[in-house]
Chain A
Amino acid sequence: MKKTVLIILLFLGALCLPGVITAAEKEIICASTTSTENSGLFGYILPIFEKKTGIKVKVVARGTGAAIEMGRRGDADVALVHAKEQELEAVDEGFFVNRHEVMYNDFLIIGPADDPARIKGLKSASKAFQKIATAGIPFVSRGDNSGTHTKELTIWKKAGIETKGQKWYLEVGQGMEKTQRIAVEKRAYTLTDRGTWLATKAKDNVEMRIVLEDDPILFNQYGVMAVNPEKHKHVKYREAMEFVNWLISKEGQQAIGSFKDKNGNQLFIPNAK
């Protein structure tokens, strides 16, 4: 009996030995968002970057708010996120340096195919939000301080509507894909980035449609910035800057532009200056 236990323990121990002690030489942690990770963008561009520089980029995908917080605490080396105001605030506070705009796409309002709030045909996102509120049709909010959530709050503010405590306003605190899924189940409207929408739509054949797009307020800019080495001495600033500079270089921009999802859609448009 003792032998058996010993053998089991030894076996488990042997399993553990390799693997846990794997320290690649050059690697950085990139705090980013679910939209970039889940869309497959990182899976496409990071191998190109790694091949060129030998730097491995480990991506932790959170909402923009959480990603910036990771940098503030020194738990990441670089952040690629999409909420300009939050980004600039973090730069002002001195937690990040060298912020650059990298790429953009846009947000969409999606809703049930039969469009119960009669939004189709409208041009303004804030008008659409007003109609949803007046009709009391469920609206699913990310509610997680992400870039999409930040944008959504901006639109509510512009629409002049207080969502707090409203029965039709559902804050789910989940990533974009899950939020869409909840919207489908609840027959609700939601705000989504185009990349995630294209990715899910293709997979699911869901009963959802784009009800509003192309309002300038729905512009979705992504920015990259390095964690300030003066705030956190241990961050790999040089490697992080190599990544930042590659992203905004001609080569990096080309890589972003040539990334296509499974259905051949371009999800991000490079626009570094």
Chain B
Amino acid sequence: MNSMTEGFLKAFSLICNLNQELLDIILLSLKVSGIALIISSIIGVPAGAIIGLKKFSGRGFIITLLNTFMGLPPVVVGLFVYLLLSRSGPLGFMGLLYTPSAMVAAQTILALPIVASLCHSAIVAVDPIIGQAAITLGATPYQKAVAIIREARYGILSSIIAGFGRAMAEVGAILIVGGNIAGYTRVMTTTIALETDKGNFELALALGVILLIISLLINIALHLIQRKGMAETIR
């Protein structure tokens, strides 16, 4: 118990005196997960919207597939991306293994199903009355879709935040494809894993606390946006 409180104290003093190395690690984490999130959102949100709005054959299967992929084990994704990008693999000529780009690829694969699936749920959850009302008011199918997406926007935002959480918290896949190279592909989670191995629990704890703070800030931002949205709706 004592070592834990001690660890937390040291963690907070480390946070107060952020050094350059630690700062670089945090920034790289945000960059890698940020890009992964942008790519997953650009693909995942429209995909989720189409699945939610259109009725086509095979739709049920795609939804099941997406839900399954939401639970993809990160190490399996890591292995898959590793084999793909390895010099002896099909995409080896690109020389991407052990680079931040490889980490982005792995995190995108992990975040995409979450964004798409939750986005789909958000759109399906919109009260059917909205769509009916839009048609009664003479909306084209496109305008109807826009009305439904507008209504689901906070759910869509939540889906993006959830995707970001998945990407940021991930360690197994990026450890394999990034190689945890100091100053190059070492991010917060892989540093935590490494420092835990090395017995530097304070540093590991400090990074854990920072990771928590970042996720807290993101969630506060989300909450504010949602509250603002609620106020708009009431008005």
Interface residues of A (CB under 8 A from B): 1, 4-5, 8-9, 12-13, 15-16, 19-20, 29, 34, 38, 43, 58-61, 73-75, 174-175, 177-178, 181, 199-200, 203-204, 232, 234
Contacts and interface: CB of A to CB of B under 8 A. Distances in A.
B27, B86, B87, B89, most chain A CB atoms within 10 A:
B87
Contact of A58 (B30, B92, B98, B198): B98
Contact of B197 (A5, A59, A178, A234): A178
Contacts of B101: 20
Given A38-B197, A203-B199, A234 B87 contact: yes
A214 B85 CA distance: 44
Interface residues of B, number: 39
Contact of A9 (B41, B87, B196, B200): B41
A199 B194 CA distance: 14
Contact of A177 (B28, B88, B197): B197
B31 interface: yes
Given A19-B28, A60-B180, A200 B88 contact: no
Contacts, number: 86
Contacts of A61: 180
A43 B198 CA distance: 14
Interface in B156-195: 157, 179-182, 184, 194
Contacts of B180: 60-61
B87 A15 contact: no
B199 A200 contact: yes
Given A1-B153, A15-B34, A16-B38, A38 B100 contact: no
Contacts of B27: 15, 19
B147 to A, nearest CB: 14
A195 to B, nearest CB: 12
Nearest to B179: A60
A232 B88 CA distance: 9
